[in-house]
Amino acid sequence: MDHMRGLSDRELLAQCVKFGREALLWRNKFRALLPEVERRRLYRKKGYKSVYEFGERLAGLSMAQVAESLNVAERLEDKPALKDLLESGEVSVNKIVRVVSIATMENDGELAEKVQILSLSALKTYVQDLKLDSMVDQTSLVQEEINEYGLKGEVIQRLRELKEKGIDVNEALLEFLNQREEEIIQAKDHIVEELPESSSRYIPTRVKNILKQEYGTSCSVTYCRKPSGNIHHTRRFGLNPSHNPNFMAPLCKEHHQIAHSLDVKVTEIRMKK
């Protein structure tokens, strides 16, 4: 106790972080052992009524946590990369749970890499993206969103007037949208012509403004409604020191992590860490 009182706040926090991480690691390792404990009925040999009591008494696990561990292990029997991570305890069960619903023998290795690199929230977003991409027909999804545009009464009235005049409203809207896109392209080209190479990561205001005009304040990934918090260089800034808006896009925190995870060199560095 005297030793504890002699620690500074910084030292005390460091101890808490260290032991907390170690506790999480060993808890994960314990959870990975439960399927084998269940298979051997080891809990009965040691006087426990069930594997659930075994998990609760020895590691303080809830019934739901034990059930989750058994279920995940069963679903990873034919997915060696994810199974190895589960059994090693190096990755939390919660992360593996996020990807198990989309895990296949084909994407096993890729998902194993993602759970090591991405945060839990980014991993959740990554899985949602894959599920959306796998949808064959997204028409119903678009239809559900039609009522979310929040058109004002004046806009609806003007569209109605166009329709009454025999003007194709869809064609008029498409013409407006195409013209808007063309204006943005031209504005970008003008910016690029005057944009010098720069080693500074500070993004010029006019670049930020044209990206905001193009993408608004939301993440630029399709169907992601989260606010953008980062402007991502789709060509690595270290190799291409330029703030060319044609190779930049605003992303939410989670999609920004995912974008960097796709960079092989960044991935290798993080894996080594």
pLDDT tens per residue across span 34-86: 888 888 999 898 899 999 999 999 988 888 888 888 888 888 989 999 989 88
pLDDT of residue 136: 45
pLDDT-wise least confident of 15-19, 96-100, 238-242, 264-268: 264-268
pLDDT at position 250 is: 94
Task: Name the percent of the chain lying above pLDDT 90.
Answer: 35
The answer on pLDDT for 241 being more than 90 is no
Phi/psi of residue 151, nearest 5 degrees: -65, 135
Q: What is the pLDDT of residue 267?
A: 52
Q: Is pLDDT above 70 for 220?
A: yes
Tens digits of per-residue pLDDT, 138-153?
555 444 445 566 778 8
Q: Residue 185: its pLDDT value, please?
A: 92
Q: How many Å separate Cα 216 from the centre of its chain?
A: 20
- What is the distance between the alpha carbons of residues 241 and 142, in angstroms, rounded to a whole number? 38
What was the pLDDT predicted at 6? 75
The secondary structure of the chain in percent helix, strand, coil, rounded to multiples of 5, reads 65, 5, 30
Q: What confidence score (pLDDT) does residue 265 get?
A: 52
| 3-class secondary structure, 71 | helix
Residue 1 confidence class, pLDDT cut points 50, 70, 90: low
**Percentage of the chain lying above the pLDDT 70 cut:** 89
Q: Which of 131-140, 141-150, 164-173 has the lowest mean pLDDT?
A: 141-150
The whole-number average pLDDT for the span 111-139 is 81
Tell me the mean pLDDT in the region 251-273: 72
Segment 17-25 shows an average pLDDT of 82
Give this prediction's pTM.
Answer: 0.65
Q: Which residues pair with 250 in a beta bridge?
A: 231
Instruction: Tell me: pLDDT of 5 over 80.
Output: no
229 pLDDT band, cuts 50/70/90, is confident
184 pLDDT higher than 90: yes
Q: Please count the other Cβ atoms lying within 10 Å of the Cβ belonging to residue 197.
A: 9
Per-residue model confidence (pLDDT) at position 152: 80
Task: Report the C-alpha gap between 52 and 43 in whole angstroms.
Answer: 9
E-state strands within the chain: 230-233, 248-251
User: In the 8-state DSSP scheme, what is residue 50?
Assistant: S
Taking phi over 0 as left and psi of -120 to 50 as alpha, with beta for the rest, 150 belongs to: left
